[in-house]
Amino acid sequence: MTQAPALLRGQTGEAVLADKAYNSNALRMLIAGMGATAVIPSNRTRKVIIPHDATAYRQRNRIERCFCHLKHFRRFATRYDRRSAHFAGFIHLAAAMIWLR
């Protein structure tokens, strides 16, 4: 949560998707200042539950699971390739291997 404002500085987009851990009023105000929609589910401890787009949040979870599958490949997790073209090529190969399962 401490690095989220620095990460979002200078970014543009229609929505910012985040986990429940990023549920804070300050971050929501920063996202609104960007002109984007915050797709962040509310914590259980929040007194007033703020609604979010459940479909977009579900798609975020699919992307997160895809990265989890990619991290099972040691070459991806440790980033052995020094050149970005080689690394990108391996990402395509690993994604194809996952898709073919």
Yes or no: say if 20 and 41 are a contact pair by the CB < 8 Å rule. yes
* pLDDT higher than threshold 90 for residue 81: no
In the predicted model, what is the mean pLDDT of residues 44-55?
Answer: 90
* pLDDT higher than threshold 80 for residue 16: yes
Helix axes 84-100, 54-70, angle to 10 degrees: 110
Find all residues with CB under 8 Å of 8, minimum gap 6, and list them: 16, 30, 31, 34
DSSP 8-state symbol, 49: P
* pLDDT higher than threshold 80 for residue 72: yes
pLDDT band at 96; cut points 50, 70, 90 = very high
Alpha carbon dihedral 71, 74, 76, 77, in 10-degree steps, equals 60
